[in-house]
Amino acid sequence: MTLAAILVAVLIGLVVGVIPGLFGVGGGFLMVPLLHVFAGVPLPTAVGCCAAQSLGTVTTGMLHRRAAGEIHTRLAWLLFPGTLAGLELGILALERTKHSSASLEVFGRALPMMESTQLLCYFALLLLLAAVVGIETYYNVDEHDAARRPWLAGLRLPPYVASPELQGTRASLPALTLLGLVVGFLNGGFGMGGALLQVPALVFLFGVGTHRAVAVTLVSSFLAGFFSTASHAYRGNVDLPLVCWLLLGGTLGARAGSHWASGFSSRRLRRWFAGVIFASTGIILARLWELFSRAGS
C-alpha cells in the first residue's frame, strides 16, 4: 500500500469510526460507499474489508456488554441458521458481480450493469434504513417496552420457540429464521452489520426489550461478522493491511465520537444520524452520476 492509500484508509476509518462513537451503531452503510468511491476499492473487497473491520468493533462491544453481564446468547443462536444462510446468499450474489461485463443501457448510455445494480440496491437499502430510523423515532423505541404488544404476537406459524429474551412469550421459529436471513443477506452482500434493522425488528415484531435486543444483536453480529469475514477471506475479498488501517482509524474515530457525543442530546444525535444516512445516499448518487457521465464520454 502506498502512503496515500494508507492515509485515505485511516481517514475513512476515522470518519466511519465516529459513527459508533456518536450514535452507537456500526458504520458499514457508510464505509462501503466511501471505500468504493474515494479509495477505488472494488465493491466485493469493500464489503469484505467492512465485514472484517466491523468484527473488531463488535468484539469490543460484546466484551464490554459481557463484562456488564448483559450478554444473551440463546436468541442469537436461534437467529443464527437464518443469518448464516443469508450471509452465504449475499456473498454468492456479490461474487456474481465480480466477473460480469454485462452493461445496462440507460438513456442510450451503456453503464456497467452489476456495479449500477449494486449501487441502486444500496441506495434503496439506505432509504429503507432512513425509514426504519424514522419509525424508531416515531414510536420512541427506548420507552414503554413492557406496554408494547409484539406485532407478530398473533402469527400462527409453528414451530414456536421460547427464550428468556422473549420475556415469557413464544416466537415463531420460521419468522426468526426469516429475520436472520434478511440480516445475513445485508451483511454478506452489502457489508451492513444489520443492527439497524435487527434491533427494531426484535423490539417491534417479537417484543424483546430494547436493551436485550441490543445485547442479542451484538452476539448475532459477532457470529455473522466471524463467518462473513471467513467466507469473504476465502473468496479473496479481504485486504488485511487495509483492514488494519481501517481498524486504527475506526478506533481513533470512535474515541473522538464518544468525546463529542456527550455534548449533544439524543434527539439531536438521532437527527444527525438521519443526515449521515442521507449523506451516504448522496455519495452513491454521485457515483452513479459519474458512471453515467463516463459512459457518455
Cell 494508507 -> residue: 6
Residue 234 is a binding residue for another protein (CB under 8 A): yes
> Where are any strands of DSSP class E within the chain?
103-106, 109-112, 160-162, 170-172
Closest approach of another protein to the CB of residue 145, in Å:
12
Of 137, 120, 128, nearest to 43 by C-alpha is 120
Give phi and psi for 112, each to the nearest 5.
-60, 120
Q: Which of residues 98-127 bind another protein (CB under 8 A)?
A: none
Q: Where is 257: in which H helix or E strand?
A: helix 240-261
Query: Total number of residues binding another protein (CB under 8 A)?
Result: 53
Residue 264 cell numbers, joined:
449533544
Round to whole Å and give the CA distance between 89 and 81.
12
Give the x-and-dash track for 189-208 against another protein (CB under 8 A): ----x-x-------------
Handedness of CA 286, 5, 231, 277 (dihedral sign): negative
Q: Is 271 an interacting residue with respect to another protein (CB under 8 A)?
A: no
Closer residue to another protein, CB minimum distance, 170 or 211: 211
- Answer yes or no whether residue 270 interacts with another protein by CB under 8 A: yes
Q: Shortest distance, CB of residue 110 to another protein, whole angstroms?
A: 36
SS (H, E, C) 63-108: HHHHHCCCCCCHHHHHHHHHHHHHHHHHHHHHHHHHCCCCEEEECC
Pick one of 36, 232, 280, 281: the residue that binds another protein (CB under 8 A): 232
Closest CA to 86 of 223, 191, 182: 182
Which phi and psi angles does 104 have, rounded to 5°?
-115, 125
Query: In this chain, which stretch among 39-47, 102-110, 148-156, 254-262 interacts with another protein, using CB under 8 A?
Result: 254-262
The only residue of 75, 243, 276, 288 in contact with another protein, by rule CB under 8 A? 243
Residue corresponding to grid cell 439524543: 266
Least distance (Å) between residue 103 CB and another protein: 32
Among 233, 274, 291, 292, binds another protein (CB under 8 A): 233
- Binding map of another protein across residues 131-150, x = CB under 8 A, - = no contact: -----------x--------
- Residue 57 vs 118, nearer CB to another protein: 57
Choose which of 45, 83, 97, 221 interacts with another protein (CB under 8 A): 221
Pick the binder of another protein from 38, 161, 251, 292 (CB under 8 A).
251
As beta bridge partners, residue 109 has 106
User: Cell match 449475499: residue?
Assistant: 90
Among positions 8, 238, 288, 295, the unique one binding another protein when judged by CB under 8 A: 238
Between residues 116 and 198, which has the closer beta carbon with respect to another protein? Answer: 198
Q: Does 32 bind another protein (CB under 8 A)?
A: no
Helix orientation angle between 43-67 and 173-190, rounded to the nearest 10 degrees: 130
- Binding interface with another protein (CB under 8 A): 20-26, 52-61, 63-65, 67, 142, 193, 195, 210, 214-215, 217-218, 221, 225-226, 229-230, 232-234, 238, 240, 243-244, 247, 251, 254-255, 257-259, 261-262, 266, 269-270
